[in-house]
Structure 1
């Protein structure tokens, strides 16, 4: 699930990148859409093997919670 973790982190980083957003709002929005679509595709690909709680977070677009879940699962 490393790729999913990477995508979730990338989305959080994009949201926090105010300089990018201020410099080019349209490109920032496109980048957010792109990573969100990648997350959705990865969710669908992994869905049969996902723990119920992680599936719930991804289904509800609770991406920060999904990342926290993944990070706490690696302990």
Structure 2
């Protein structure tokens, strides 16, 4: 399964979360950046919902974005509870 545009959005969200310098310097802008990329992920999901499998849909519906990225990268799910 290959959705490079979604993977890019998911990676961008992780990068925003990890940017503590940005968060410390301008918390409001950091939060807006996080909201923006999260909104783009939601929009992507709404647009592509009929083209993705049930696993990816489940992760995106539950906002389990790191699991969604792992699933895109490996094609596998982590066992429940991990």
Q: Same fold (TM over 0.5)?
A: yes
Give unpaired runs (5+ residues) of structure 2: 76-82
**TM-score under structure 2 length normalisation:** 0.87
- Tell me the residue number matched to 2:57: 55
**TM-score under structure 1 length normalisation:** 0.95
- Tell me the residue number matched to 1:64: 66
Alignment length, in residue pairs?
73
Output the CA distance in 2 between the equivalents of 1:64 and 1:16. 13
Output the CA distance in 1 between the equivalents of 2:26 and 2:67. 28
Output the CA distance in 2 between the equivalents of 1:13 and 1:64. 12
Q: Which has the higher helix share?
A: 1
Q: Report runs of 4+ in structure 1 exceeding 3 Å deviation.
A: none
1:39 lines up with 2:21 in the alignment: no
